[in-house]
Amino acid sequence: TVAAVLVRACAECAVQRPADPVDFVAGWLSKWVSNDAILTKHAVAKRAGREDAAEAVEGAEGAAKTAENREIRVGKAMAHLRTMTNDPDILFKHAANYASRLSAAGPEGMHVYVAVLDEVEEDEMAPGAGSDEAAEGAEGEEPAAAAAAVEGEGDGENDEGHGRGGTRFDYSDKFFRYAAAAGKRGSCEWIVGRTLPRGANQGVSYALVDAPEAGGKARPWIDISNVMLHVVDGGAAGAEGAEGTEGSRGSGAVHYLKGFPRVGAYFAAPIVLATGEVMGMLCADTLKTPAGGTGRPIHEEDKKLLREVAVNAAAAMDAAAELRSAALALVEVEQAALGEALAAAEGAEEEGAE
């Protein structure tokens, strides 16, 4: 209080016995105020330091707990994904939803899609379909590759893909069809059922299945930090960088399925079966749209998550194939047993007739 400070000033004046007591007390009080401000500032800084340290420890513990919880959630999601061996469409929908909801960007910041490789279906009602006339074309031109003919572009060159493990697969007659999507409040559902163009100017995602040149390998994934800065092979300005780099050349153009270029990143991971065949891809973008998207590069944790989801989706499909094989084998055994029983019964009837 003021009284206590004034008493201390007067006591100091009595001890010192200055020539001008009033001036001494005034000077003492002024110095006390200055010292008190310094001490108060030091105490505040010290207290703030303790609080910052406590917050840092709490934040680190919270971050570790959050990371642990996220790992648990991801682990449970992947385990559930591997059990989905019945309906592929349900599997694809869950894969897209898990990748979206478990990502750091969340459904508001990142759009996730699953696309499957479909074969081009021949139109049986087309003139000359299934006959020798079809090889001549409508006006006597040279026949093109099946995929290029259906898509209406390209010459089908360099369309041979390489499977993982050295096995060669031919994807030239296949194209990507989007089977599932996840985003903010169903904002991405419009893409389901649409296809990615094939041909000379095909989308960069086909680099997952098409080897760039003889003896080359398809990319393990597509990673583009800014689709607006891509440069397509041949020098044309595009919107993608090569896998794992920024601003480098790519092997295909970015196709904006709504026709309007936007800023953002793109990442695609192949869904590879145990045989090494690519059956589809799990892809995501952060294109900034009114419905969401950060427009920023995809976080490394989210890329890892996308690859993990793709691997587990493939594991579920492999398990489904094994179940189908086991069921077919069981049917064959039952049919064989039934055939033997019928043969035995017929033999017994013949012996009885004799």
All structural domains of the chain with their residue ranges: 2-60, 86-119+169-233+248-344
Q: Cα dihedral angle (35, 41, 43, 44), rounded to 10 degrees?
A: 160
pLDDT at 252: 63
Please give the biggest Cα pair distance in the chain: 153
**Predicted local distance difference test score (pLDDT) of residue 255:** 74
Q: Quick count: other Cβ atoms within 10 Å of Cβ 214?
A: 7
Residue type, 226: N
Residue type, 212: P
Q: Residue 212 — pLDDT band, cuts 50, 70, 90? A: low
- pLDDT for 285 equals 93
For the cut 60, the answer to whether the pLDDT of residue 314 exceeds it is yes
Q: What is the pLDDT of residues 242-272, one digit of tens each?
A: 222 233 334 566 777 776 788 899 999 999 9
- Give the three-class secondary structure for 218: coil
Q: Which among 266, 187, 195 is positioned nearest to 228, based on CA atoms?
A: 266
Phi/psi for 350 (5° steps) reads -65, -40
Indicate left, alpha or beta for 165 from its phi (over 0: left) and psi (-120 to 50: alpha).
left
* Mean pLDDT of all residues in 142-165: 35
Query: Over the chain, what is the mean pLDDT?
Result: 77
Instruction: Please tell me whether residue 112 adopts helix, strand or coil conformation.
Output: strand
Angle, helices 21-82 vs 88-101, to 10°: value is 170
What global pTM score does this model have? Answer: 0.64
Q: What is the pLDDT of residue 244?
A: 28
Measured distance CA(256)–CA(262) in Å, rounded: 8
Helix, strand and coil percent figures for the chain, each rounded to 5: 50, 15, 35
With a cut of 80, say whether residue 87 has pLDDT above it.
yes
Using CA atoms, how far residue 111 sits from 40, 48, 97, 257, 281, in Å, is: 53, 42, 10, 13, 14
Calculate mean pLDDT across residues 78-99. 93
Strands (E), 288-343: none
- Which fold does the domain 86-119+169-233+248-344 belong to in CATH? Beta-Lactamase (3.30.450)
- Sign of the C-alpha dihedral computed for residues 85, 90, 94 and 100 taken in this order: positive
In this predicted structure, what is the pLDDT of residue 234?
44
Q: Which two tokens stand for residue 36?
A: 């008190």
Burial 232-269 (b: 16+ CB within 10 A, else e): beeeeebbbbbbeeeeeebbbbbeeeeeeebbbbbbbb
